[in-house]
Chains A and B, each alone.
Chain A
Amino acid sequence: MDLLRFTTSGSVDDGKSTLIGRLLYDSESIFIDQLQALQRASKHRGSEQLDLALITDGLRAEREQGITIDVAYKYFSTAKRKFIIADTPGHIQYTRNMVTGASTANLAIILVDARQGVVEQTLRHTIIATMLQIPHLVLCINKMDLVQYSEDRFYEIVHAYQEAIKKLQVKDVYYIPISALHGDNVVYKSDRMPWYTGKPLLTYLEEVPIALDINQDIARFPVQYVIRPQEDAYHDYRGYAGKIISGAFHEGQAVSVWPSGWQSTIDRIEYAQQAIASARAPQSVVILLKDDLDISRGDMITPADQPPTLTQDVVATICWMDSTPLKTGDKLLLQHGPAVVRCVVKHIAYKININSLSQEDAGGSLQLNDVARVHIRTAKPIAIDPYAVNRANGSAILINETSFNTVGACLIEEA
């Protein structure tokens, strides 16, 4: 049994909360007391039917205002997989939240209202999902009950979407006609749409192959912590603790250490104090090297024949997440895994219109939720890969030097 993380995105009234509620309800992932609370809450709201949307409705402020704030995480499992849902709202701070939810997702569900068809938001969701390199997309055409379960309408929307995304580099899209309200093609195959020969949503979520979503070819090991026991028995023990973020390592492998560029050989890989011959992403392990080097937190170990790009000049697509605008020349902290370096924004090349992908002049500053191509200079070299090649080593966050808030998401394009 493995684990799939997915994100759901949509705008107000597209039935997103109902879809998640339906998925949890029909897969029998709701506990009895939650169901009772749901019945009470539905009644309280004057609804005769069970309002499945209330399942994902979280904080009091949201209940009062009837809106969703921020990203909420939901969990359920079937016999085949464990699922983590990052539920992101469709209104204010939309981009910031969707980028956050999408950053860890294997798959994105994009909802379309069958009556409305493809709208601006549909493309925006697709562009963000593609930008964040979510490997799999599912376009759920919802509210099919309101278009008489029409096959023609379904294909009309599918074709319009395919036409609209021609210019984008969308890898893998699956199309499903559903009614979240009535449960058609969510968990169970609908007999009201016999013309649909594909899988219901849950079956697709259970079966889509995800093992290759992590780059399995390029090995990267950022050092988080150095284990040096203060005991005689471990006098010479110097273990580099970290998580393999991509690829695989093995005992006896020739490795390089970055940013120093020192060479060594893997003496031993340990997991729970047991020596193991090899390990691969996403395992957390301890690596011991043959040579006594001065390696510390923030350094990166890679195979000697697979060096990363070591650079102080980074070109990146960033999503600005702070209400204070970013200006050319601003100094920030850049956190890349465990490595934190100071940096300066040298140049804002252009803003990216996330509804159309067109490039616009930024005029030297970025507002909250803007997406832009920027040139960054770091105070020290960092060991990176392009995001498109290795998501795990091509991502970084920007931190305000005085407030310490996380103010930007950084997708490294090239060095």
Chain B
Amino acid sequence: MSRHPYDFDYLDYLESEAIHILREVAGQFERPALLFSGGKDSITLVHLALKAFRPGKFPFPLVHIDTGHNFPEVLQFRDALIDRIGERLIVRKVEDTIKQKNLEPPKGKLASRNFLQAYTLLDTIEEFEFDACIGGARRDEEKARAKERIFSVRNEFGEWDPRLQRPELWNIYNGKIHKGENVRVFPISNWTELDVWHYILRENIALPAIYYAHTRKCLVYEGQLVAVSPHIQIEPDDVIVEKTVRFRTVGDMNCTAAIESQARTTEEIIQEILQSKISERGATRIDDKFSEAAMEDRKKAGYF
């Protein structure tokens, strides 16, 4: 496969950059981990890790911070994926953190445990003494992320300080840290949502079924469609509809809104995104709308 320099496609460039970053993690850290949510971005990371390290094993386990509010399809997918690739999976549950720490479980109609994930994540980092956590965040998702480094150093409390970031030059990544600190690493920082979908198409990567159009009962909540599940409170005057929908991200069942869609294949999804032009977090993350600086706050507190 000899290539003329002009043939180097942007997806090849992004893939090569991500593999390079994953190998830097392997080379620089003693106890890295890959944070796996079961979403398309973390599944893409696993695919890239296979390209980076096979025929060897991954030099890190996959870690799933389980809110207990997952889509069952995503958990099935996760377990099947682990079986297929034969790598180690660590699961830590937000439920257990709530019990151990006597935290107030979130109340209310949608009762999101999203912000509690940060506690469980930080506990898990301490438990296994992880010095680097690989995540699937992308800079195009949100304004606060646009300024984050690929190697993002966090203090002992997992906090991110946007004013004290290390300069990141060329493709040289400085992962040196003190004990207790850790680094969040984002190999697909430079990918956009469409890049990920084009890559999934090109590489024929399998995803959980909820990404593709299917029929589902949904609660209509402030103009958004929320999957009916045991994790939300249904009240008598609620409007429940049955629609053909898909999900653009796989967060918790109660904080990820569905969009109406007929897209049953990856090609159709790409077409739909090109036409709809609604960016992914805006369309589906209910918890970002509360304040303009919502993500910045959660980031500083250690949420990715």
- A residues apposed to B, CB below 8 Å: 1-3, 28, 30-34, 37, 57-61, 63, 69-75, 77, 81-82, 84, 96-97, 99-100, 103-104, 211-212, 214, 216, 224-225, 227-231, 234, 237, 239, 241-243, 245, 250, 271-273, 276-280, 282-284, 297, 321, 333, 335-338, 391-392, 395-397, 399, 404-406, 409
Q: Please name all residues of chain B whose beta carbon is closer than 8 Å to the beta carbon of A71 when the two chains form the complex.
A: 147
| Beta-carbon contact of A227 and B8 below 8 Å | no
Take A283-B16, A395-B169, A406-B174 as given contacts and tell me if A58 and B23 are in contact as well, using a CB distance cutoff of 8 Å: no
Q: In the complex, which residue of chain B has the Cβ closest to the Cβ of A87?
A: B146
What are 22 A-B contacts with C-beta separation under 8 Å?
A1-B10, A31-B282, A33-B279, A33-B282, A34-B279, A58-B143, A69-B163, A70-B163, A72-B147, A77-B10, A77-B194, A100-B168, A214-B5, A216-B5, A225-B53, A229-B57, A231-B55, A241-B23, A243-B19, A280-B5, A406-B166, A406-B169
Q: Please name all residues of chain B whose beta carbon is closer than 8 Å to the beta carbon of A225 when the two chains form the complex.
A: 23, 26-27, 53, 59
Q: How far is the CA of A61 from the CA of B56 in the complex (A)?
A: 45
| Beta-carbon contact of B176 and A396 below 8 Å | no
- Whole-angstrom distance between the Cβ of A390 and the nearest chain B Cβ: 12
Q: Which of B177-205 contact A (CB under 8 A)?
A: 177-178, 189-190, 192, 194-195
Q: Which of B198-228 contact A (CB under 8 A)?
A: none
Q: How far is the CA of A227 from the CA of B26 in the complex (A)?
A: 10
- Whole-angstrom distance between the Cβ of A253 and the nearest chain B Cβ: 13
Q: Please name all residues of chain B whose beta carbon is closer than 8 Å to the beta carbon of A84 when the two chains form the complex.
A: 190
Q: Please name all residues of chain B whose beta carbon is closer than 8 Å to the beta carbon of A337 when the two chains form the complex.
A: 172
| Beta-carbon contact of A243 and B20 below 8 Å | yes
- B residues apposed to A, CB below 8 Å: 1-3, 5-6, 8-10, 12-17, 19-20, 23-24, 26-27, 50-57, 59, 139-140, 143-144, 146-147, 162-163, 165-172, 174, 176-178, 189-190, 192, 194-195, 276-279, 282-283, 292-293, 296
Q: Please name all residues of chain A whose beta carbon is closer than 8 Å to the beta carbon of B12 when the two chains form the complex.
A: 283
Q: How far is the CA of A28 from the CA of B168 in the complex (A)?
A: 30
Q: How far is the CA of A22 from the CA of B55 in the complex (A)?
A: 47
| Beta-carbon contact of B278 and A32 below 8 Å | yes
Cross-chain contact of B16 among A73, A96, A276, A282 (Cβ < 8 A):
A282
Take A75-B139, A227-B53 as given contacts and tell me if A282 and B8 are in contact as well, using a CB distance cutoff of 8 Å: yes
Q: How far is the CA of A60 from the CA of B300 in the complex (A)?
A: 12
| Beta-carbon contact of B147 and A59 below 8 Å | yes
| Beta-carbon contact of A338 and B27 below 8 Å | yes
Q: Please name all residues of chain B whose beta carbon is closer than 8 Å to the beta carbon of A338 when the two chains form the complex.
A: 24, 27
Q: How far is the CA of A82 from the CA of B276 in the complex (A)?
A: 19
Task: Identify which of A59, A229, A242 gathers the most chain B CB atoms within 10 Å of its CB.
Answer: A59
| Beta-carbon contact of B20 and A224 below 8 Å | yes
- Whole-angstrom distance between the Cβ of A167 and the nearest chain B Cβ: 26
Smallest CB-CB A-B distances: 3 pairs: A33-B282, A404-B176, A31-B279
Q: How far is the CA of A59 from the CA of B295 in the complex (A)?
A: 10
Q: How far is the CA of A109 from the CA of B2 in the complex (A)?
A: 33
Q: Please name all residues of chain A whose beta carbon is closer than 8 Å to the beta carbon of B24 when the two chains form the complex.
A: 224, 338
Q: In the complex, which residue of chain A has the Cβ closest to the Cβ of B173?
A: A335
Task: Identify which of A73, A273, A392 gathers the most chain B CB atoms within 10 Å of its CB.
Answer: A73
| Beta-carbon contact of A276 and B1 below 8 Å | yes
